[in-house]
Amino acid sequence: MSQDLLEIKDLHVKAEDKEILKGINLKIKKGEIHVIMGPNGSGKTTTANSILNNPAYQKVNGSITLEGEDITHLKTDEIARKGIFMSFQLPEEIPGVSVTNFLKYAKNKVTGKPVKVFQFKDELETYMKELNMNPKNMERSLNVGFSGGEKKKNEILQMLVLNPKLAILDETDSGLDVDAIKTVSKGIEMFKNDENAILIITHNTKILHSLNVDYVHVLVDGKIVKTGGQDLAKEIEENGYSQYK
Amino acid sequence: MSKTKINDINRNIYDIKNKDEYDFKIKKGLTKDIIEEISKQKNDPEWMKEFRLKALEVYNQLELPTWGPDISELNMEEIATYVRPKTSLNNSWDDVPEDIKSTFDKLGIPDAEKTSLAGVGAQYDSEVVYHSMKEELIKQGVIYTDMETAVREYPDLVKKHFMKCVPIYDHKFVALHGAVWSGGSFVYVPKGVKVDIPLQSYFRLNSPESGQFEHTLIIVDEGASLHFIEGCSAPKYNKVNLHAGCVELYVKENAYLRYSTIENWSKNMLNLNTKKAIVEKNAQVDWVTGSFGSKISMLYPMSILNGEGAKTEYTGISFAGEGQNLDTGFKVVHNSPNTSSVVNSKSISKNGGKCTYRSLVRINETATHSKSSVSCESLMLDDISISDTIPVNDIRTDEVEFSHEAKIGKISDKTIFYLMSRGLSEEDAKAMIVRGFAYPISKELPVEYAVEMNNLINLELEGAIG
């Protein structure tokens, strides 16, 4: 029997004094892929940021547990070390820090173990090949001067390297062309196993054509208004969100 | 002997204080008698004694600078300008007294000498206690010695160049330097000789309420090249210490000199150092500077591009924490056609520290077809720190390419969140951003200094998060 990985109970979240999430409930088990869909401004990114406890968002009520442990108010880095990863919609640029050095450092922080240099390099090269990434990007400053597609692939690379229990992909598919979406989907397939889970946050359905998902949740005005299977995504693709407003 | 209190801040190796033991410490203050006593103690030739007394006269005539950081707390009556350590000049570390040697050991100097340097000079308080250079350089005619030896053994070279590049009339602290200078290094690289491995001088000020006034004079003759590294540090005392060194660089036709500095003075130090280079035809001087310590720094290395096609590059970083006011920058004067200057300056301020980039770019009428590009970036780690840019650009011909770019930024919460989502603590995240910001500068430093700089950044950021 599969186990509960993440559980969100009645989560209310404010940003700049405005209530954005108005009671989110969500359960994710190991081995599952969940999708949260919703129109702009419905609270999708807030949900992702709240799971990682971004201090820009204030939790008013509710709780978040990871494998039964309350992580609602842990610091972001503690949550990351417990095994939650988020792929950012707009990844930050860090001048002067190479992708390799950054990943080595982050991996060491997340696992708490020293990183074996050669093994790490091999691992990185393998993943980059799979993701059609230019190996030269390894020595470039993190995300600096990267195209939109390169940044997103880099997020997927980080996910593979850090190997979290739960990966949250916030609008990872937005702004990507068909080929890039295929590559990202490939990365997700490589990552996916029975012990981890994925939460995809998106406002369109493109990425769902190349992935099998278990649950689709429709988020409107800070609440999950409907949950279904892959069919629900199809229905939204055809009819939009208007019926849920 | 004066008693010193030990502050319990941790700057690791830099704060190791040796007992204030000395062979001779001049009484505090600045009078004709004191200058004559220093001159006597140092066995100056007559011309140098006269020079010192002249400089004292000039010192007394000149006013304190009316711009920049407030240095009114400096009371020369409280500063001992000459402290001779309990040893003479040695050319083997085995002969250096144990406590002094152990200080340099901990600073990694003898190790670096074995692995990556062609020559080393080490000054402790007012005197150079160690000097040595590889045999093959001696054979090639390279001279690398302490300044006093140079005055004695190479009087013509010294007389011709000593305080000619930086005249005692430049400003009050140069005049002071001229009166009380002691120690420092003299380098002469003969025509066409390429010194592939760097020479390094390290200046350590141990004695409290004292000043260090080392004089560095480097002549790189036609077609020759050299990389010279200067390191400075001092342990922290409660009273003000003063550093007013002077660096004069002569880079002759087609010659190349790279001058790298890491200044890591303790935070009771007033660092009023003067550095200048005269660059001849098709020659180049590159400055690489890291300023970390000191309470107040006023430091503006200067290149005078006299020969046609002369070039200079300045790469500098300063890092000001609580109570620090680092006023640094670069000055360049273009005097001839086709000269070029490139400035890349960065500063980091935190916990209320203040960094100012103050610069001069002067391109004279005679310097047609010259180029100058200046870029300065500052990073403030919090809302109470200060960063400022005060450039003076004096361009007197139209036939130039000139650009100036200044950026002032703060670490964004979004960036910190991004890094924390990858498992880095807030401290780690800030340190990584700062290291990255500093990287374009640190990669220009000799590797052991780049490592030291990263350690310093980590040290500076430890406990910085409230």
Nearest to B269 by CA among B291, B245, B293: B293
List the beta bridge partners of residue B210: B80
Q: Which residues of A touch B435 (CB under 8 A)?
A: 96-97
Two structure tokens written together for A116: 């074996």
Domains of chain A, start order:
4-244 (3.40.50.300)
**Domain assignment present for B306:** no
> Dihedral of CA B31/B36/B40/B46: which sign?
positive
**Domain assignment present for B307:** no
What domain count does chain B have? 2
**Domain assignment present for B407:** no
Instruction: Please check whether residues B291 and B422 belong to one and the same domain.
Output: no
Range of the domain at B422: 412-466
Choosing from B299, B324, B359, the residue where a domain stops is B299
Query: How many CB atoms are closer than 10 A to CB B85?
Result: 25
**Domain assignment present for B135:** yes
Question: Which of A95, A105, A106 lies nearest to residue B437, judging by beta carbons?
Answer: A95
Cβ atoms of B327 and B356 within 8 Å: the answer is yes
Give burial (CB, 10 Å; 0-12/13-18/19+) of B347: buried
CB contact under 8 A, B423 and A162: yes
**Domain assignment present for B112:** yes
**Domain assignment present for B36:** yes
**Domain assignment present for B202:** yes
Cβ atoms of B318 and B326 within 8 Å: the answer is yes
- For chain B, 466 residues long, give each residue's pLDDT as a single digit of tens: 333 333 333 456 677 778 878 888 888 889 999 999 999 999 999 999 999 999 999 999 999 988 999 998 888 888 888 888 888 888 888 888 888 888 888 878 888 888 878 888 888 888 888 888 889 999 999 999 999 999 999 999 999 999 999 999 999 999 999 999 999 999 999 999 999 989 999 888 888 888 899 999 999 999 999 999 998 888 777 788 899 999 999 999 999 999 999 888 888 889 999 999 999 999 999 999 988 889 999 999 999 999 999 999 999 999 898 999 999 999 999 999 999 999 999 999 988 999 999 999 999 999 999 999 999 999 998 889 999 999 999 999 999 999 999 998 888 899 999 999 999 999 899 989 998 998 888 888 777 677 777 777 776 666 443 3
Interface probe, candidates A49, A51, A85, A94, chain B, greatest B C-beta count within 10 A: A94
Instruction: Please check whether residues B118 and B253 belong to one and the same domain.
Output: yes
Instruction: Please check whether residues B287 and B421 belong to one and the same domain.
Output: no
Q: pTM value?
A: 0.83
**Domain assignment present for B304:** no
Question: Which of A75, A80, A141 lies nearest to residue B422, judging by beta carbons?
Answer: A80
Q: Which residues of A touch B410 (CB under 8 A)?
A: none
- Per DSSP, the residues of B110-162 read HHHHHHH-SEEEEEETTEEEEEEE-HHHHHTT-EEEEHHHHHHH-HHHHHHHT
Instruction: Please check whether residues B295 and B429 belong to one and the same domain.
Output: no
CB contact under 8 A, B422 and A92: no
Choosing from B278, B299, B320, the residue where a domain stops is B299
Complex-level ipTM: 0.96
Two structure tokens written together for A184: 């990202």
Residue with tokens 């360049």: B332
Choosing from B255, B271, B299, the residue where a domain stops is B299
CB contact under 8 A, B438 and A102: no
